[in-house]
Amino acid sequence: MAATFDGTLTWVGHSTFLLETGSGTRVLLEGFVDSCPTTPEQLKGDGLGDLDLILVSHGHADHVADVVAHQQRTGAQVAGIVELMGWFGSQGIAADKLIDFNKGGTIEFAGLRITMVDAKHTSSTPDGQYAGEAAGFVIELENGYTIYFAGDTTVFGDMHIIGELYSPDLALLPIGGHYTMDPALAAKAIEILHVKHVIGMHWGTFPPLRGRPVELRELVAPLSVHVHELQPGEAFTGVAAPV
């Protein structure tokens, strides 16, 4: 029997999510919070609450701008690709708070299994330094429920392998277009991943990001896929959420 989602996944805004697992572990996916124009005020600063782990997919400012502030506020571990973790070290995060790994690698954290997978995008830090390659993450929760966080990417053929190896229950996919895939390309990604529950991200934050969940829902209707449309500050709590 397939695992069910027993936690809470809140869309903070843009590509940043706050995951609270069934056992209470709190994971921030990306770190564009206080600087993000669509983040609700109640989720900025201390309003975001305690954090145990911050996962970062790549070095662009709309993913890392507030990582250091929230790490130092909470004492959370920060995990991501080797070169980017080295840069965070130069920004004042202590070495024992950094978890560096690479594509194909899996880390275990508080009962979670997190595997770094490929993404097709560029990566540099806000000050122009090399930040390794862009990545995505497959996150297996304590009960086996699996989330694929694609990061910034276009569709690519090896998503088929991600689907085959990990059978994600939920995919978080960029849909805004211009800098990432749009709804049409995201629909192809859904087809090759064979995933049935999807949340769109990286849309609506800035004018060029024109893709919308309603477009994606129309495109994947023949696949019986549930596209869960959130607004910043809203939470996904399981497969019974509105579609």
User: pLDDT tens-digit profile of 55-89?
Assistant: 999 999 999 999 999 999 999 999 999 999 999 99
CA dihedral (105, 108, 109, 114) positive or negative = positive
Q: Each residue of 187-204: pLDDT tens digit?
A: 999 999 999 999 999 999
Write the pLDDT tens digit of every residue in 6-62: 999 999 999 999 999 999 999 999 999 999 999 999 999 999 999 999 999 999 999
Q: What's the whole-number mean pLDDT along residues 81-110? A: 98
Residue 242 has pLDDT above 50, yes or no: no
Rounded distance between C-alpha atoms, residue 66 and residue 181, angstroms: 24
Instruction: List 77's β-bridge partners, or say none.
Output: 53
Q: What is the average per-residue pLDDT within 119-125? A: 98
Q: Which residues pair with 170 in a beta bridge?
A: 147
- 116, 135 contact by CB (below 8 A): yes
> For residue 243, what pLDDT band results from cuts at 50, 70 and 90?
very low
Mapped onto helix, strand or coil, the DSSP state of residue 42 is: helix
List b or e across 196-207, with b for residues whose CB sees 16 or more CB atoms inside 10 angstroms: bbbbbbbbbbee
pLDDT of residue 1: 56
If you average pLDDT over residues 109-116, what whole number do you get? 98
- The predicted pLDDT at position 239 comes to 59
From 177, 137, 131, 138, select the one nearest 154 (Cα to Cα): 177
Closest CA to 177 of 156, 197, 198, 200: 200
Model confidence over 128-179: pLDDT tens digits? 999 999 999 999 999 999 999 999 999 999 999 999 999 999 999 999 999 9
Q: What is the mean pLDDT of the chain?
A: 96
Q: Are 27 and 54 in contact (CB under 8 A)?
A: yes
The whole-angstrom separation of Cα 99 and Cα 104 is: 15
Nearest residue to 27 via CA among 36, 35, 18: 18
The pairs formed by 213-222 with CB atoms below 8 angstroms and a separation of 24 or more are 213/175, 215/175, 215/183, 216/175, 216/183, 216/186, 216/187, 217/243, 219/183, 219/184, 219/187, 220/187, 220/190, 220/191
pLDDT of residue 2: 74
For the cut 70, the answer to whether the pLDDT of residue 241 exceeds it is: no
- In the chain, domain spans: 8-236
Question: What is the rounded distance in angstroms from the CA atom of residue 76 to the CA atom of residue 67?
Answer: 10
Q: What angle do CA 143, 136, 242 make, to 5 degrees?
A: 55
Half-sphere exposure of 164 (CA within 13 A, CB side): 6
Amino acid making up residue 124: S
Q: Are 190 and 213 in contact (CB under 8 A)?
A: no
The CATH topology of domain 8-236 is Metallo-beta-lactamase; Chain A (3.60.15)
